[in-house]
Amino acid sequence: MKILVTGGAGYIGSFVVKTLLDKNHQVTVLDNLKRGHRELVDQRAELIQADITIEKDIENVFNQNFFDAVMHFAGLISVGESQEKPELYYQNNVVGSKNLFEKAISIGKINKFIFSSSAAVYGNPVKIPIPEDHPKNPISEYGKNKLAVEEVLINLNQELGTNSVVLRYFNAAGALLDASLGEWHEPETHIIPKIIKSAIKGTVFKLFGNDYSTKDGTCIRDYIHVLDLVGAHVSALEKLEKNTGAFYYNVGTGVGYSNKEVIEMVKKISGKDFEVEIASRRPGDSDKLVADPTKIIQELGFVPKYSDLETIVKTAWAWHNR
């Protein structure tokens, strides 16, 4: 298949691009490179530098290329920043996505979409683990953005028969087993790379909040290794080759680790100690987010292979030490 991967110069997108190429798909990456990295894009892929919020950019992409499917990763990803810059996030994540889908359908005649969503659509859960039919009550602008784009895809399915798979990520983490590809954000907002950087540099790690309603007072998250997450995308693409409809799945393990447990694992793997400073909570952070992965296991045969905390931290540690 010929696949357009938006945001393919980012963390998860770059992993998906590599895997799709390894499976003999033809891949074109669309990225504005404002927060993605050209160096992360597999050299076998074509790279188009364009912005999903600029209509002319996207019109040109679909006028000049044919694709069988779109995998949509492009978007701003920081929960904290989304609270500070809600209009920036809405324009990029929601308006940009609408522009992408509209041009893909009207010009590109595409009817297969896979969207990178988030557990942030659930907000503070009333049930743990969280099933897909859990009430959607996002508490961050980022989560609201993701839910809005999900609703666009549902409407497109109902109105135009467009087919889609929404994957609600829990916490993506880790790197390739040979440390040749990993997580690289500027600025970095994800907890595991930030802890690792403190271990490498011997600097203070700032922990946001220790007064949550959890076993040790710190947030609990369900971590999914990026390689397992990539596997979910491949399965989603196969789903759309066989079935029509608008589908949605949690991508998690059903196991949660607290921030303190993650800190201790980094100390164990690195053999390094560092100071942890307790800071005030960040707005928009939920107490506990743990997936119920039953649906994706049953319908897509999803089996995480690398998502134990030790493997996640070991691979991330090796990557960041490069």
Residues annotated catalytic, as ranges: 142
Judge if the upstream peptide bond of residue 293 is cis by omega within 30 degrees of 0: no
CA dihedral 230, 133, 165, 251 (to 10 degrees): 0
Closest CA to 97 of 119, 65, 75, 76: 75
> Which of 116, 93, 97, 117 lies closest to 105, judged by CA?
97
CB 17 within 8 A of CB 31: no
CA quadruple 8, 193, 75, 112: dihedral positive or negative? positive
User: CA quadruple 232, 234, 239, 240: dihedral positive or negative?
Assistant: positive
Reading the block at residue 37, the tokens are: 């990295």
Amino acid found at 7:
G
**How many CB atoms are located within 10 Å of the residue 270 CB?**
19
Q: Are 41 and 14 in contact (CB under 8 A)?
A: yes
Report yes or no: 258 and 96 within 8 Å, Cβ to Cβ: no
